[in-house]
Amino acid sequence: MLQTAIQARHVQATPALWSAGQPRSSRGRIFETKVTVEAGATIFEEGAPAEYFYKLVTGSIRLVKILSDGHRQICDFHLPGDLVGFANADDHDFSAEAIQPCVLIRYRRKDVDTLIKSDAGFACELQTLTAKGLSSAYAHMVRLCHRSAYDRLARFLLSMADRTQSADGWFELPMSRCDIADYLGLAHETVSRVFTQLKKAGVIIEPTLNRIKLIDQDALEDQLEAA
Amino acid sequence: MLQTAIQARHVQATPALWSAGQPRSSRGRIFETKVTVEAGATIFEEGAPAEYFYKLVTGSIRLVKILSDGHRQICDFHLPGDLVGFANADDHDFSAEAIQPCVLIRYRRKDVDTLIKSDAGFACELQTLTAKGLSSAYAHMVRLCHRSAYDRLARFLLSMADRTQSADGWFELPMSRCDIADYLGLAHETVSRVFTQLKKAGVIIEPTLNRIKLIDQDALEDQLEAA
DNA sequence: CGGCACGTTGAAGGATCTCAAGCTGAGTGG
DNA sequence: CCACTCAGCTTGAGATCCTTCAACGTGCCG
C-alpha cells in the first residue's frame, strides 16, 4: 500500500502561489498551507470527511472512485491551476491520488465562508475556478457520450494537447493507459488498440511511451466534426 | 421551430424566491429579474454570448448540445433550486430548453463580481450551488461509465427518485424517453427495452407514461452494488 | 379519419468487452 | 553482463451487448 506522505508547512513568505503575492490571511490567521506529496500518494480518500480542499500548483492528480463491482473509475484529471476536492458533500465522493509529485495549496473547508466574506477577490476566484471545473466536467460528458472508442480517445488527446502542449506541439501524458481507460469508460485493451490505430494512421506520433505529438491537429478536429 | 417566449419583469415585491425575502438589490439597483418561459422554449442558445445566468424556481430544464454529426446530447437536467447557465466561458456551451413551463430568477453575468463583493450571503450561496452542480456532474459521469444500459437507467431512476419523489414514493419523469437516451448515451430503443425489462421484473411500476414508483428501492440499490 | 409524435418490439450486424497469451522496459540480484 | 521478475502495454479470438433499421402500436389533435 502506498502510504500518503504529505509534508505541510504554513506559507509564511512564499512567492505568489495564489492570486496575491502574500499568503491569504486575516487578523493574523493564516488560511493557506503549502503541501507537497510524492507520486502515487493519496491526497484524500473517498468517504473521508472533506476537511480540506486544494489548489494544485504543480504536478497532476486523478480523481478516483472504486465501484462496488471492483471497477475503478476516474472522474477527472487535475492539472496545475485546478481546484481539487471542492465537492458539495461533507464527505469526499472520490479519492484524489497524485500521479506525479505535487505541490498544492491547502484550505480548510470550514474557513470558506470566512474567506469569502473577508476577501472578495478570493470569493471571485474561487467562484471562477469552480465554474471552470463544472465546464470541464460537461466537456468530459460530451466525450463520454460519443459512442466510438476512437472518438473518445481522439477528443481526449485533443483536450490534453490544448491543456498541456508546448509551443512545438509535443506533450507528455502523465497518466497510464489504464488511467485513460478508466477515465473514458473503456477497457484498457481497447485504449491500447486505438492508440496503435492512431499511430498507424499517422494521426499521432509517440516515439517513447506517453510522449506525444498530434501530426495534424486541425485535420483531426475536422475529422471529428465531420463524423 | 419553437419560438422562445420569455416574459420578464423586475422582481419588486415577490415572496422569497432566493434566499432572502427581498429581491437582491444594492444602492437602488435591481439585480434579480423573474422570468417565465413556456414548455419547449429555449432559454439560451448554444454559442450565444452568456449574458445571463439563472436560478430555476419551478419547472425543469434540459441542457442540450448538438454534435457535429447531428446527434443530440443532454448534459444535465435541472430541477428547482439548481443554478442554470453558469459556465466559465463567455459563450454558452449548451442550449437550455424548458421541458416544462418554468419560472426562473435571472442575473446578469457581469453583475456577478459586484454581487459577490457587496453581498457575502449571495457569494456563499452561489459558491454552494456551483459546487453542487459540479458534484452532480461527477455523479453523472459515474453513471455514464457504467457499461450496461440496465445499470445506467436504473441508477438514473434512483437519482431522479431521490431528487423528486414524494412521500409515498411516486415520482414523475418530466422528460421523454428520447431525452433520457440522449442523457445516458444510449439509443432510445435501448432505453425503451430496459424500461419494459424493469417493469416485467417488477422493479418499477408505471401505470401511466412517466409516472413511476420504485417497488423496492433498497433491493435495487443492493443489486447495483453487488453487480 | 388521417396525420403525427412518441413509444415499443423484432432481427441482423457490428463494436467493444472479456479472457488469454505474448511483448517491452525497468529494476534487481547473481 | 546477463537472467529474472514484474508491471504495464500490445495483440488475438470469441462472446456479448448495444445500435441500427424497420415495422407496428398508441394517444392526441385537427
pLDDT tens per residue, range A46-80: 999 999 999 999 999 999 999 877 889 999 999 99
State residue A100 phi and psi, 5-degree precision. Answer: -120, 170
Q: Could you tell me if B125 and A123 are in contact, meaning their C-beta atoms sit under 8 angstroms apart?
A: no
pLDDT at A1: 32
3-class secondary structure, B123: helix
Where are the CATH 1.10.10.10 domain residues in chain B? 146-226
Q: Does any strand D atom come closer than 7 Å to the Cβ of A197?
A: no
C-alpha cell at B144: 455514464
pLDDT in tens, B111-142: 999 999 898 999 999 999 999 999 999 999 99
Sign of CA dihedral B177, B183, B184, B188: positive
Which of B68, B137, B227 faces A134 most closely, judged by CB atoms?
B137
- The C-alpha cell 466574506 sits at A117
Dist. CA B25–CA B33, nearest whole Å: 11
CA of B206 to C1' of D30 (A): 30
Residue of A68, A94, A138 lying closest to B93 (CB–CB): A138
Contact between chains at A224 and B112 (C-beta distance less than 8 A): no
- Which of B66, B84, B145 is the best mutation test for A, with the most CBs of A within 10 A? B145
Q: Which of the four pLDDT bands, split at 50, 70 and 90, describes residue B2?
A: very low
Q: Give the tens place of pLDDT for each residue, B11-64.
A: 433 333 444 445 676 655 788 999 999 999 999 999 999 999 999 999 999 999
pLDDT the model gives residue B87? 79
Q: What is the pLDDT along chain A (227 residues), one digit of tens a residue?
A: 333 345 554 543 333 344 444 567 665 577 899 999 999 999 999 999 999 999 999 999 999 999 877 889 999 999 999 999 997 778 999 999 999 999 999 999 999 999 998 999 999 999 999 999 999 999 999 999 987 999 999 999 999 999 999 999 999 999 999 999 999 999 999 999 999 999 999 999 999 999 999 999 999 998 887 65
What is the CATH code for A7-138?
Answer: 2.60.120.10
3-class state of residue A54 by DSSP: strand
Rounded CA separation A98/A95 (Å): 10
Chain B residue with minimum CA distance to A63: B138
d(CA A37, CA A56): 11
Among A124, A116, A152, which residue's Cα sits nearest to residue A224? A152
Query: Which residue ranges does chain A devote to CATH 2.60.120.10?
Result: 7-138
The share of chain B scoring above pLDDT 90, in percent, equals: 76
**The three three-digit cell numbers of residue B152, written as one number:** 445506467
Cell numbers for A18: 495564489
Q: Verify whether the Cβ–Cβ distance B87 to A138 is below 8 Å.
A: yes
DSSP B91: B
pLDDT of residue B13: 35
Answer yes or no: do A75 and B142 touch at CB < 8 A: yes
Angle between helices B188-200 and B149-164 (to 10 degrees): 70
Q: How far is the CA of A190 from the C1' of C14 (A)?
A: 15
How far, in Å, is the CA of B112 from the C1' of nucleotide C16? 46
Q: Per DSSP, what are the bridge partners of residue B120?
A: none
Task: Please indicate whether, in this complex, the C-beta atoms of B141 and A144 are within 8 angstroms of each other.
Answer: yes
pLDDT classification of B226: cutoffs 50, 70, 90? low
Domain A146-226 in CATH 1.10.10.10 = yes
Distance CA A63, CA A85 (A): 9
CA–CA separation, B112 vs B101, rounded Å? 26
Question: Distance (Å) from CA A156 to C1' D13?
Answer: 28
